Amino acid sequence: MKSPGSPPAVPAMAAVLDAIRDRVTVSRVELVGATGLTAATITNTVRRLMSVGYVREVGTLQSGAGSPRRLIRLEPDACYTVGIQFDRFTSTAVIVDLAGDVVERSTMPGAALRHPDSVVASLGHHIEELLSSAAVPRSKVLGVGVTTHGPQDRDAGVLLTSNPSIDWLGYPLAASLSDLIDLPVLIENDATAAAVGEEGLGSSGSSFATVYMSGGIGSGVVLNGQPYRGASSNGVELGHISVDAFGPRCTCGNTGCIENLAGPTVIVEKARNTGLRSRLRLGQGTLVDFKAIGRAAMAGDPDARALIEGSAAVLAVGVATLVNLFDVARVVFTGDAFTDVGPIYRRHAQDAVDKGAFMRAVHPVRVEQSRQMSDAAAIGGAVLVLRSLLGAGESAMRTARGAERLSLPAAVP
């Protein structure tokens, strides 16, 4: 039990910030009720948050015969975090404020087959440009969350994959970028980040799964508001669930992986062997081509439609498995590969869980499309920086450099 004079625990800050964010303006008494923290902890936490400028008092509210309650609200522009999603084909960057709102976003080409040093240099340049265009001072930026494919050693900030090239295997992504831009950097699996981005900075504590498709296929699961991580933060690899023991061998070592039967790369390869190649002028890059096929499918092209419907049917088998494993009642499709074709994939998945989810007699399972299809993973990266900083159920953010900077600003005496 802490004495009234002891400093508030960092998770208390996360809880108080969430409660203030959810309510726009709120009194200290209401914060006690909303968080379950003691009045003394609320007083200390609010004092610290006010001293660093994250919240401020905005008037009073007369309630009953007692003295008026002072109201508190968030200062959204008190600090910012940056989120970047990148893979071989595409990259998206966002700046998110303390309210969890995106204040700036941009896209750039993916990693392709460039050396990691070159990619990191581009990311650093891109971050500087983004901050400049948003007129966000660097002094207010707490850190950068980079989300990409796995496997990865999240704690070390290192990728453990030779995809898209051998140069990435063991590459110190977080430390390299942190050295370049002189800000703390964390890395995260893109599908997990997309799930976090879907929930945002609120404190809903909900449980759901995301199906993420960009260059590859992944999934993220959030249970009671916290991302499920498994033993090494490399869990829920939906794209590498086998649906065919005799299917093609995958680079992961498995056979018949969903990604190799239904992912953008294989769909584009198949399309290039049909009349779609010339009709859609394919050959502009996997994700660009996949989106062109998707638009053609939505417009009724029979060849494109057959490819997309086939892919959606395979992925739907994986979605039913995902639901059976985690007993979630909601599945959200997100990732820029779903931008045009989301309705087809959603329909197949809904049909699969309606017919095949083991618990369907107990509760329905709803399949939805994200409202931030292209940005969820980048937003999740930005959100995770703040959650990590505040200790909101996340492990500490570590980088080779910058770890010492990873603290909230010191309180003003």
Q: Which residues in this chain contact Zn ion in the complex, by CB under 5 A?
A: 240, 250, 252, 254, 257
Rounded to the nearest whole angstrom, what is the least distance from the CB of residue 134 to Zn ion in the complex? Answer: 39
Rounded to the nearest whole angstrom, what is the least distance from the CB of residue 108 to Zn ion in the complex? Answer: 28
Rounded to the nearest whole angstrom, what is the least distance from the CB of residue 339 to Zn ion in the complex? Answer: 24
Between the alpha carbon of residue 322 and those of residues 98, 205, 266, 396, the distances in Å are: 33, 20, 22, 28
- The residue (of 254 and 372) whose beta carbon lies closer to Zn ion is 254
- The residue (of 59 and 230) whose beta carbon lies closer to Zn ion is 230
Rounded to the nearest whole angstrom, what is the least distance from the CB of residue 118 to Zn ion in the complex? Answer: 27
- The residue (of 149 and 291) whose beta carbon lies closer to Zn ion is 149
Closest CA to 91 of 374, 385, 386, 384: 374
- The residue (of 257 and 386) whose beta carbon lies closer to Zn ion is 257
- The residue (of 77 and 244) whose beta carbon lies closer to Zn ion is 244
- The residue (of 180 and 315) whose beta carbon lies closer to Zn ion is 315
Closest CA to 322 of 359, 274, 277: 359
Rounded to the nearest whole angstrom, what is the least distance from the CB of residue 292 to Zn ion in the complex? Answer: 26
Rounded to the nearest whole angstrom, what is the least distance from the CB of residue 161 to Zn ion in the complex? Answer: 12
Rounded to the nearest whole angstrom, what is the least distance from the CB of residue 248 to Zn ion in the complex? Answer: 10
Rounded to the nearest whole angstrom, what is the least distance from the CB of residue 188 to Zn ion in the complex? Answer: 20
CA distance 213 to 286: 13
- The residue (of 11 and 248) whose beta carbon lies closer to Zn ion is 248
- The residue (of 239 and 402) whose beta carbon lies closer to Zn ion is 239
